[in-house]
């Protein structure tokens, strides 16, 4: 790029390019600290601060706290997340970002990650509500849970089907060798909303005990498989 004043655009591509993507666990994949950092779920922050923290995690710049920090609101040493300036309770009460201490205009504060006690309580509540369902509605809920959510690309294709028709003249590459993309699991809040929509408040008990056990195992398996990725949305 030229050093002339006003020459802010580059006419050539980047000179040095990486052949492989950066991996933050390339040399210390089995270290407990690396596993802990990669399992962190960013929550109680706005979208901008979320991107900043996730960038630090991705490129090995994240430095976890060795001891809790002091909250700028309540003054207690209850801040356990790195780069946060206030504790979880104060951030939820004031409805502001725990990192930049600002209230976003769109209200895009990420909901907090549930505690183990809250997670166990919600699992028990969900299983009790499912036991009240008739067999037909149980199977409806199980299909809804296993199917997962649609991706943004699939929703865009449904809204604008003409985009795919315009590209129909182009040769289509065979995708038989590629595995289909994994389904996005529903959040716990969405599952509870679906259960309530199936009239779970009815007192009629239907189905055998074996059906109850099978559905309990399905719910517990789903809870374990999605607890590390999507549980932070349950209190939205």
The model's pLDDT over 133-173, given as tens digits with 9 standing for 90+, comes to: 888 888 888 788 777 766 555 666 666 655 444 444 544 44
The model's pLDDT over 166-225, given as tens digits with 9 standing for 90+, comes to: 444 544 444 444 455 555 666 677 777 777 777 644 544 444 444 555 555 555 555 554
Q: Give the span between the Cα atoms of 234 and 187, in whole angstroms.
A: 6
Instruction: Note the pTM of the prediction, 2 decimals.
Output: 0.51
Which pair of tokens denotes residue 232? Answer: 């932070």
Q: Give the span between the Cα atoms of 137 and 141, in whole angstroms.
A: 6
User: Is it the case that residue 78 has pLDDT exceeding 50?
Assistant: yes
Give me the sign of the Cα torsion angle 47, 50, 52, 55. negative
Phi, psi of 107 (to 5 degrees): 70, 30
In degrees, rounded to 5, the angle at the alpha carbon of residue 219 between the alpha carbons of residues 216 and 224 is: 125
User: Which residue shows structure tokens 């706005």?
Assistant: 46
């Amino acid at each position: 790029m030229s050093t002339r004043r006003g020459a802010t655009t580059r006419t050539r591509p980047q000179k040095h390019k990486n052949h492989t993507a950066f991996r933050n666990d390339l040399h210390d994949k089995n270290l407990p600290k690396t596993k802990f950092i990669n399992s962190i779920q960013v929550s109680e922050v706005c979208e901008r601060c979320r991107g900043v923290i996730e960038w630090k995690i991705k490129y090995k710049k994240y430095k976890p706290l060795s001891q809790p920090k002091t909250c700028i609101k309540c003054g207690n040493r209850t801040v356990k997340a790195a780069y946060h300036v206030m504790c979880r309770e104060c951030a939820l009460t004031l409805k502001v970002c725990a990192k930049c201490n600002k209230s976003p205009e769109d209200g895009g504060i990420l909901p907090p990650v549930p505690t183990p006690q809250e997670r166990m309580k919600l699992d028990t509540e969900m299983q009790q509500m499912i036991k009240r369902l008739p067999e037909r509605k149980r199977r409806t809920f199980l299909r809804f849970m296993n199917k997962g959510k649609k991706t943004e690309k699939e929703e865009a294709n449904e809204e604008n089907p003409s985009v795919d028709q315009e590209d129909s003249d182009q040769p289509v590459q065979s995708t038989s060798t590629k595995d289909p993309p994994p389904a996005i699991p529903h959040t716990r809040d969405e599952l509870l909303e679906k259960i309530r929509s199936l009239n779970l408040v009815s007192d009629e008990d239907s189905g055998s005990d074996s059906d109850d056990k099978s559905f309990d195992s399905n719910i517990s398996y789903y809870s374990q498989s999605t607890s590390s990725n999507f549980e932070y949305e349950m209190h939205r």
